[in-house]
Amino acid sequence: MTDRPQPETASRRRALDHEEPLIFELGAPGRMGVDLPEPENFSDRLGDLSRSREIGLPGLSEPQVVRHFVRLSRNNYSIDAGLYPLGSCTMKHNPRLNEKLARLPGFAELHPLQPAATTQGALALIDAVGHWLKVITGLPGIAMSPAAGAHGELCGLMTIRRALEARGDARSRVLVPDSAHGTNPATAAMCGYAIDAVPGNARGRIDLEALKAKLDDDVAAVMLTNPNTCGLFEDQVLEVAEAIHGAGGFFYCDGANLNAIMGRTRPGDLGVDAMHINLHKTFSTPHGGGGPGAGPVVLSEALVPFAPLPWVVEQGEGFALVEHAVGEAAQSLGRMRAFHGQMGMFVRAYAYMLSLGAEGLRQVSEDAVLAANYLLAELDGDLTPSFPGPCMHEVLFDERFLKDTGVTTLDYAKALIDEGFHPMTIYFPLVVHGALLTEPTESESKESLDQLIAAMRRLVQRARSGDTEFFQMAPRHAPRRRIDETRAARNPVLRWRPPGKDQPAE
């Protein structure tokens, strides 16, 4: 990593922006944030399991810990700081009301091992969220326990596999379009299927004839992302559903882009059998940083009996959990996780639904699509759209506008950081060379979109002026300069080693 130039100050600091060593280098033996007396009459009962050496954690006082992480947080870009146009991620504002409700003690302090009799409110809320997700998608069943989008994909494919096994129909292949999300083929492979890629056509959508040519009685499912990763609606989706069902397979739809069609199109009406829903994208949950997430999976009637446990069911005047594969649940694929799901995610999603209502949820998708098409209309001519419009909730450009400038997609994205914007997703989807995938979402104002448009235009003009050095040195004003990505890939440092006589800290 190349550090930024040091400021000409005695402290080597840049105003309120402080440079400091790694937290391991800040630590000192014996320093701590608490002062506890040695326990009396203590004897070690771990035997051979006792530690034979220090575990290497830094010794820090409480003020040092607080200051260190506050400084790190000041270097972190977030949706609360500005526009976050990552394509295919739906990084949008999360209403603070929903955060407040998720912190209500009755929900936040639940224990997963409490008896169902003491959690009736939580079970009722989970049931209500599941009900409205089924209404929104037009599918009759739902599994609420998956922990995230990819976990939801795994749930959907495992449910399909279980259904095929139940009818004695062992199949070995899953068809995955080139325009699908990258987790789709990984999920199918985890379920033991061979991946058969389906190419796209010149319009950025699945090649229907190529799909049909690959269909036979060995295909378990097709995994279609709709809208796809090119930001386009798969307008032959009905034909795709008819084709896969005609071959005896199932239609899995990646629902990560539900934010584009919610309230406008019901996937169940399109012939979808299973689809995961990213609550942490579409329904107001903080997104990023590795979690938490929630990926409920809606299911067609043919797949409902095979859904994973537990199930929330009405029982008398209350709710109960079906946790064992007996009776109606005898065909279930079983558990996919220890407990039911992410309670805070369900609370936020329910608050989001109730706050907006049916008309508001429809407006979310309409405004998201409008914002992306505004970017497309304003930037067409400065940047090069990969496919003719209109687009859905995200607009895809490619690097043709940088031809003969000596500037790459990566250079352009790094320069955007100096303009005060988090870059869009770059080099994805892979079907487009030098891709720049931009998703503004519905929560951005016209003013913020105009600021992004102006910054992107300025950078295009600078690239065409021949100032390649400016781009190759970007970002100049970020907490750190650009890393040597080739070196980082070929010689990664995966753990911290304390500095020694001949070994610097890494």
Q: Are 28 and 59 in contact (CB under 8 A)?
A: yes
Contact 367, 449 (CB under 8 A): no
Q: Which CATH number do you get for residue 323?
A: 3.40.640.10
Whether residues 340 and 403 fall in one domain: no
pLDDT at 296: 96
Q: How many other C-beta atoms lie within 10 A of the C-beta of residue 266?
A: 16
Give the pLDDT band (50/70/90) at residue 349: very high
Q: Are residues 317 and 453 in the same domain?
A: no
Instruction: Looking at the structure, tell me whether residues 362 and 294 fall in a common domain.
Output: no
Q: Note whether residue 243 is domain-resident.
A: yes
83: in domain: no
Domain identity same for 336 and 362: no
* Residues 399, 299 share a domain: no
CA gap 54, 182 in Å, rounded: 41
C-alpha distances in angstroms, 298 versus 181, 253, 301, 316, 481? 18, 10, 10, 25, 44
Residue 8 in domain: no
Residues 302 and 376 in one domain: no
Query: Domain for residue 58, yes or no?
Result: no
Q: Is there a single domain that holds both residue 342 and residue 363?
A: no
Q: What is the DSSP string of 283-327?
A: SS----TT------EEE-TTTGGGPPBPEEEEETTEEEEE-SS-G
The pLDDT score that the predictor gives to residue 49 is: 84
Residues 337 and 244 occupy one common structural domain? yes
Q: Which residues have a Cβ under 8 Å from the Cβ of 282 and sit 6 or more positions away?
A: 90, 258, 259, 262
**How confident is the model at residue 5, as a pLDDT?**
61
C-beta neighbour count of 154 within 10 angstroms? 24
- Span 210-221, average pLDDT: 97
Residue found by looking up tokens 């550090």 in the block: 3
User: Do 263 and 293 sit in the same domain of this protein?
Assistant: yes
User: Which of 352, 379, 404 is a domain's end point?
Assistant: 352
Q: Average pLDDT for residues 200-229, to the nearest whole number?
A: 96
Residue 69 is which amino acid?
F
Same domain, 187 and 250: yes
Q: What value does the mean pLDDT take over residues 377-383?
A: 97
First and final C-alpha spacing in the chain: 11
Cα–Cα distance measured from residue 102 to residue 104, given in angstroms and rounded to the nearest whole number = 6
Q: How confident is the model at residue 501 (pLDDT cuts 50, 70, 90)?
A: very low
Average pLDDT over residues 374-399: 97
Q: What are phi and psi of 322, to 5 degrees?
A: -90, 110
Q: Do both 444 and 459 map to the same domain? A: yes
Domain's final residue, options 301, 319, 352: 352
| Residue 102: pLDDT band with limits 50, 70, 90 | very high
Reply yes or no on whether the pLDDT at 504 is more than 80: no
> Residue 505 pLDDT > 70, yes or no?
no
Q: Check residue 1 and give its pLDDT.
A: 42
- Give me the CATH number covering residue 368: 3.90.1150.10
Residue 22 lies in a domain: no
- Among 302, 336, 352, residue at a domain's last position: 352
Residue ranges making up the domain that contains 321: 97-352
> How many Å separate Cα 428 from the centre of its chain?
14
Helix (H, G, I), strand (E, B) or coil at 464: helix
In a domain, 91, yes or no: no
Query: Residue 60 and residue 21: Cα distance in Å, rounded?
Result: 13
- The mean pLDDT of the chain is 91
pLDDT at 415: 97
- Give residue-wise pLDDT tens across range 141-172: 999 999 989 999 999 999 999 999 999 999 99
How remote is the C-alpha of 416 from its chain's centroid? 22
**Phi, psi for residue 61 in degrees, rounded to 5:** -80, 165
Q: State yes or no: pLDDT of 500 exceeds 70.
A: no
Assess contact for 467 and 461: CB atoms under 8 A.
no
Q: What is the dihedral of CA 278, 282, 285, 287, to 10 degrees?
A: 70
Q: How many domains does the chain contain in total?
A: 2
Instruction: Tell me if 408 is assigned to some domain.
Output: yes
How much of the chain exceeds pLDDT 90, in percent?
Answer: 73
Query: Where is average pLDDT lowest: 27-36, 330-339, 364-373?
Result: 27-36
Q: Are residues 166 and 270 located together in one domain of the fold?
A: yes
* Domain annotation covers residue 105: yes
Q: What is the pTM of this model?
A: 0.90
